[in-house]
Amino acid sequence: METIGHYLRIWLASARYSLVRATMFRGDLFIWSVVELLWISVNVAVIFVIYSHTKTVAGWSQYEMLLLVGTSMLIQRFLMGFFWSGIFEMGRNIRSGLFDFTLAQPGDPLFMASTRKLELDGLLNSFVAAALVAYSAWRLGIHPGPGAIAIYLCMLACGVIIHYSALVMAMSLAFWITSSQGVEGSYFTLMEFSRLPREAFGRLASIIFVWILPVVVVSNGPARELLRGFEPWWALGLFAAAMGWFAIAVFMFRSGLRRYTSASS
């Protein structure tokens, strides 16, 4: 309990620092908020254009698809808001030797590295993504009770854990390879799959993107829970994938850390 309190205090200090920093660079916060909002709008616009020419995509109606895209974006905004900057800088710091400073801090290195900064623009736009989910649910006539919303939120949390783990794994490559510049691009490319309905995938694509890489389950699980009600196998599958991917990410990070030879100069 004392350990949890210790880490909570560290996280609150980081959050306070991020908030002060964001208010110092208000123009920057504004620009990045607009950037995030525009990307959400671009994705929504594509859905509207596709559905202006067809009624369903893989059996999903327009607002079902919007709910799926909103869910996927919600997970991504949470990841961007809470962890992105810290993990992204971790990759650079490992190469430059600046990771020494993280190791010298009073806490687990992975926790310290990944919770160092909050990005308010990502968190602000999570409200836009949440509004998109709520609007789609309203258009579909879905009125989930508190229990269904709680399960949806738990499944979202599992999705964030999977995204977080994938990003930690990608950035941990910096322990082994000299230049992992652009590796973050692999994360964004893979996450494009999370905006697609599970039913759109053929047999081979299902094996890769549903069973081996859980990029589809991450968003389809919570969205289906709202649309079709609680399906235990989806929830259990998502929970198991989250735990499994988190364990692999931590293992990979720790294996890499053993190779870290500090600043090279």
Which residues of the chain form contacts with other proteins (CB under 8 A)? 28, 31-32, 34-35, 38-39, 42, 45-46, 49-50, 52-58, 179, 181-183, 185-186, 189-190, 192-193, 196-197, 199-202, 205
Nearer to other proteins, 94 or 196 (CB): 196
Residue 262 Cβ vs other proteins, minimum distance, rounded to whole Å? 26
CB of 8 to other proteins, least distance (A): 31
Q: How far is the CB of 36 from other proteins (least distance, A)?
A: 9
31 vs 131 by CB, closer to other proteins? 31
Residue with Cβ nearer other proteins (62 or 102): 62
| Residue closer to other proteins (CB basis): 27 or 106 | 27
- The distance of closest approach from Cβ of residue 177 to other proteins in the complex, given in angstroms and rounded to an integer, is 10
Q: Is the dihedral of CA 107, 111, 112, 117 positive or negative?
A: negative
Complex with other proteins: residue 65 or 160, whichever CB lies closer: 65
106/67 Cα distance (integer angstroms)? 41
